[in-house]
Amino acid sequence: MSSSKKSFAAILVLVSISTLTLTTNAFQSVSPLTRPLLSQPPRVSHQARSSSSRLFSSVAISTALTALDTFWQTSPYTAAAIVCGIKASAADLIAQKRAYRKREEKERQAAALAASQKEDEDSLRTDNTPIIYNPNIDETAAAAAEDTSNSNDTDTDTALNNGKKTEWKRTLAFLTYGSIYQGLSQEFIYIHLYPVWFGSATTVPVVLTKVLFDLCIQTTFLTLPIAYLTKSVIYRYSPKEAIRRYIDDIRNHGLLKKYYLLWGPVQCLTFSIVPEHWRVTFIAFVSFFWLIILSTIASKTKATSEDVQNEIIVEECSFEDGTTCNIDG
């Protein structure tokens, strides 16, 4: 029994040695090009990494949009006030920046014109004209001219610097107007009153009824007058003058026509396919980008009433769309 066990153990050892030898020879016979593939761990391809990165980005974006949508549904008034306030103040800041650039360009043109006129006057002088030098008079005149030149330069620099400063009170006024009226009031009107008055369905008759009421009644007698009255408070002229400018823009600048051409189609989308909690935000975005790209009405209307005859005319922003100042005028 013991001899048979020893024979089996010897056979097992011989088989193990033979298997090890064959495996070693087989590994040594592998070509040098193939051996690194066997010796190195598998690598993740660049395409796989890119796919996983895109997947992670998509998940992050989806999560952010879901959180944003939840906030808009649970806090509609807060969301509307934030969006419309930022939109109105941003439009005003851009308007102020462009107004400063226009003033700066006018100053440069005036300086160039003055220099050109001075050169023309100098060229009219002839060499035959006798020049009598009087030290006292000439030195006094030169000093006065230098003082005048320095004073003019100082005044010009001061005016430019003052024009370059941001009028934060004006921006705050637009922020307040955007948050309260465009945000809170329109959220209440469009989302709560309109469904009570006209129904909440998105059928063609209901949508057209809402659009016609919005354009013909609310816009003409509420939205645009409030916009012009707000502008009168910001630019410090009377409500009577604000209404005069509003009527003048309707008669001479086609304000209502342009408003209807823009907001008719937009409001059809607003009351049909845009979710209720996104409607005011949608209107704010359309308003802002419309003013950047398509503004056509003049940025200011000259006043004629007695209470603004002595007013210093400043760069204004016209409410071309009834909701945001014209930043491209």
Residue, of 241 and 299, whose pLDDT is higher: 241
DSSP 310: T
Q: What pLDDT does 326 receive?
A: 46
- Token duo for residue 215: 């354009």
Residue, of 176 and 317, whose pLDDT is higher: 176
3-state SS of 96-148 is HHHHHHHHHHHHHHHHHHHHHHHHHHHHHCCCCCCCCCCHHHHHHHHHHHHHH
For residue 99, pLDDT over 60 is answered with yes
Find the mean pLDDT for residues 49-76: 81
Find the mean pLDDT for residues 155-163: 51
Q: What pLDDT does 59 receive?
A: 77
Whole-angstrom distance, CA of residue 95 vs CA of residue 317: 7
For residue 277, pLDDT over 70 is answered with yes
| Range among 106-120, 129-143, 191-205 rated most confident | 191-205
Find the mean pLDDT for residues 134-153: 51
| Range among 111-115, 128-132, 281-285 rated most confident | 281-285
Find out whether 236 and 230 touch, Cβ atoms under 8 Å.
no
62 — pLDDT class (breaks 50, 70, 90)? confident
96 — pLDDT class (breaks 50, 70, 90)? confident
Whole-angstrom distance, CA of residue 29 vs CA of residue 38: 13
Residue, of 12 and 59, whose pLDDT is higher: 59
- Sign (positive/negative) of CA torsion 154, 159, 165, 168? positive
Q: What pLDDT does 297 receive?
A: 43
Whole-angstrom distance, CA of residue 80 vs CA of residue 227: 18
Q: What pLDDT does 92 receive?
A: 83
Find the mean pLDDT for residues 101-117: 84
For residue 305, pLDDT over 50 is answered with no
169 — pLDDT class (breaks 50, 70, 90)? confident
For residue 293, pLDDT over 70 is answered with no
Whole-angstrom distance, CA of residue 220 vs CA of residue 242: 14
Instruction: Match 């001479």 to its residue by tokens.
Output: 252
Q: What pLDDT does 164 receive?
A: 62
| CB count in 10 Å sphere of residue 140 | 11
- Token duo for residue 242: 């604000």
For residue 152, pLDDT over 70 is answered with no
- Please give the mean pLDDT across all residues of the chain: 73
Residue, of 171 and 242, whose pLDDT is higher: 242
Q: What pLDDT does 54 receive?
A: 72
Which pLDDT tens digit goes with each residue over 18-33? 554 544 454 454 444 4
Residue, of 196 and 167, whose pLDDT is higher: 196
- Token duo for residue 194: 């309109």
Which pLDDT tens digit goes with each residue over 176-232? 888 998 899 999 999 999 999 999 999 999 999 999 999 999 999 998 999 899 888
Percent of the chain scored above 90 by pLDDT? Answer: 28
Q: What pLDDT does 121 receive?
A: 72
